[in-house]
């Protein structure tokens, strides 16, 4: 925790910051979020240009709702990757978008409940023993997607896009570069390992095709054919009860993630954002951002912990920086050649990087158990964690509910039904403030 006086003086220093410096810092924040932002729509079949636009729009909405007090950036949520991919077997894209609009509305309802009753019921409903395994399932449940893509296949493994030998070499080099940057790089470069991994993997794939080392994997013709200025491929949702009921429970996991991110940025800046502007406002902002994104055909939004890391590193607590990041994202969404370039990222490159990224998500869940000192020798805790993990990783389906949605519901129900209690979520963080 930083010294409060020091934090205040830093915030005052940034109050008179030149506009050009804010714009530059905003571009840097977007760079940090960029890799994960575009990977999510590329994996789920949504348009990355739309994702850029809705990330910018969602961030602006969030800052309007919270009074511009919280220095966060909102973009594509990884929690929804597996559910969207699973839903595509049952529903059309517009129906899935309708389900995502409903998931955003759940955030809004949760925000109202927090405003009326405070955060106590959330602490009881989702203690660390619930949060940990659900977040772990998000990462571990996606592991086969990463491996399939790293070996040159589509995410579901059904079609080979790139021969195995060149695919695995490209994937492992992309993974190695990402690891090296995340561990050994200094300064801002340490925060953009995904970006560096994509660039190096992309260049390697292109060069290997140029020199006939591998088959030509990178096709530049979509970039050449694309216009410099073009409208993103916006889509409108349609609503069906099946898709709505499929998606709504999924929102439990990113809602939990949201609370964790708000606590994290509170610790970084030395301000208690759970009290001012209040968790009800941050949840409302996130919910409106997610529903707005889905209305336009974009992926659901969430607060980005990568950007929190960048805030911590740069000591730039000025929320206006995030508005600049949002503005740059919206402008890039209308650059047709940029959107086309994103679509040409080779599958093995994404697969290699996702091996680390999905693993990192699982570790975040594990860390929440460790940090909150959850005693797994207690029978109730062991049951909750064990059943949640097996259901999630094993692909259990009960009455059509599966994946993250099922895990969230089962973990919450087991926590409520089983005797005994656990430490309230974020209790230590609350005491710190």
Q: Is the pLDDT of residue 276 over 60?
A: yes
Q: State what percent of residues in the chain have pLDDT above 70.
A: 88
Please report, for the chain, the start and end positions of each structural domain, with discontinuous segments joined by +.
4-432
Listed in sequence order, the residues at least 6 apart from 137 whose beta carbon sits closer than 8 Å to its beta carbon are 365, 388, 389, 391, 392, 393, 403, 404, 407
Taking only the tens place, the pLDDT of each residue in 341-383 is 877 888 898 888 888 878 887 887 888 888 888 888 889 999 9
Q: Provide the pLDDT for residue 414.
A: 92
If you average pLDDT over each of 22-36, 231-245, 266-280, which comes out highest? 231-245
Q: Provide the pLDDT for residue 17.
A: 64
* Per-residue pLDDT band at 430 (split at 50, 70, 90): very low
* Per-residue pLDDT band at 12 (split at 50, 70, 90): very low
Q: Is the pLDDT of residue 213 over 80?
A: no
As a whole number, the mean pLDDT across the chain is 81
Taking only the tens place, the pLDDT of each residue in 219-234 is 777 777 778 888 888 8
Taking only the tens place, the pLDDT of each residue in 388-425 is 999 988 888 887 777 777 888 899 899 989 887 644 44
Q: Provide the pLDDT for residue 425.
A: 43
| Mean pLDDT computed over 104-118 | 88
Taking only the tens place, the pLDDT of each residue in 151-203 is 988 877 788 888 888 889 989 999 999 889 888 877 767 767 777 888 888 88
pTM over 0.75: yes
Q: Is the pLDDT of residue 287 over 70?
A: yes
Q: Provide the pLDDT for residue 423.
A: 46
| Mean pLDDT computed over 76-88 | 83
Q: Provide the pLDDT for residue 377.
A: 87
Between 130 and 218, residue with greater pLDDT: 130
| Mean pLDDT computed over 91-95 | 91
| Mean pLDDT computed over 142-148 | 87
Q: Provide the pLDDT for residue 408.
A: 83
> Which residues share a beta bridge with 401?
398
Give the side-chain half-sphere CA count within 13 A for 362: 15
Q: What are phi and psi of 133, to 5 degrees?
A: -65, -35
Q: Provide the pLDDT for residue 139.
A: 81
- The burial of 245, by beta-carbon neighbours within 10 Å (0-12 exposed, 13-18 middle, 19 or more buried), is given as middle
| Mean pLDDT computed over 27-52 | 80
Q: Provide the pLDDT for residue 54.
A: 93
* Per-residue pLDDT band at 13 (split at 50, 70, 90): very low
If you average pLDDT over each of 101-105, 241-245, 275-279, 334-338, which comes out highest? 101-105
Q: Provide the pLDDT for residue 270.
A: 78
């Amino acid at each position: 925790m930083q010294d409060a006086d020091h934090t205040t003086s830093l915030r005052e220093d940034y109050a008179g910051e030149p506009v050009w410096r804010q714009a530059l810092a905003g571009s840097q924040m977007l760079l940090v979020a960029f890799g994960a932002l575009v990977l999510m729509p590329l994996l789920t079949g949504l348009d990355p240009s739309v994702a850029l636009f809705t990330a910018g729009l969602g961030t602006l909405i969030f800052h309007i709702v919270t009074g511009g007090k919280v220095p966060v950036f909102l973009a594509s949520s990884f929690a929804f990757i597996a559910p969207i991919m699973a839903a595509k077997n049952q529903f059309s894209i517009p129906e899935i978008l309708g389900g995502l609009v409903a998931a955003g509305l759940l955030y809004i309802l949760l925000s109202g409940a927090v405003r009326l009753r405070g955060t106590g019921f959330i602490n009881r409903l989702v203690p660390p023993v619930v949060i940990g395994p659900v977040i772990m399932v998000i990462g571990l449940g996606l592991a086969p997607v990463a491996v399939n893509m790293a070996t040159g296949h589509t995410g579901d493994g059904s079609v080979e896009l790139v021969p195995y030998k060149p695919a695995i070499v490209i994937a492992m080099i992309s993974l190695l570069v990402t690891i090296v940057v995340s561990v050994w790089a200094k300064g801002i470069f340490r925060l953009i390992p995904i970006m560096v991994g994509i660039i190096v993997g992309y260049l390697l794939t292109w060069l290997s095709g140029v020199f006939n080392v591998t088959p030509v994997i990178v096709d530049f013709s979509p970039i050449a054919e694309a216009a410099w200025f073009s409208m993103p491929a916006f889509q409108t949702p349609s609503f069906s009860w099946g898709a709505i009921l499929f998606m709504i429970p999924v929102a439990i996991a990113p809602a939990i993630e949201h609370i964790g991110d708000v606590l994290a940025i509170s610790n970084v800046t030395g301000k208690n954002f759970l009290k001012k502007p209040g968790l009800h406002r941050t949840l409302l902002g996130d919910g409106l951002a997610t529903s707005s994104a889905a209305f336009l055909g974009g992926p659901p939004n969430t607060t980005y912990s990568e950007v929190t890391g960048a805030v911590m590193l740069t000591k730039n607590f000025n929320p206006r920086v995030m508005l600049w990041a949002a503005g740059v994202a919206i402008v890039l969404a209308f650059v047709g050649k940029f959107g086309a370039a994103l679509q040409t990222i080779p599958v093995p490159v994404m697969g290699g990087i996702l091996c680390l990224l999905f693993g990192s998500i699982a570790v975040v869940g594990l860390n929440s158990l460790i940090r909150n000192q959850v005693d797994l020798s207690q029978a109730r805790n062991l049951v909750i964690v064990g059943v949640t993990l097996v259901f999630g990783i094993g692909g259990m389906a009960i009455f059509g509910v599966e994946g993250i949605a099922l895990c969230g519901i089962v973990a919450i129900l087991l926590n409520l039904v089983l005797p005994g209690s656990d430490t309230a979520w974020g209790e230590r963080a609350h005491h710190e403030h």
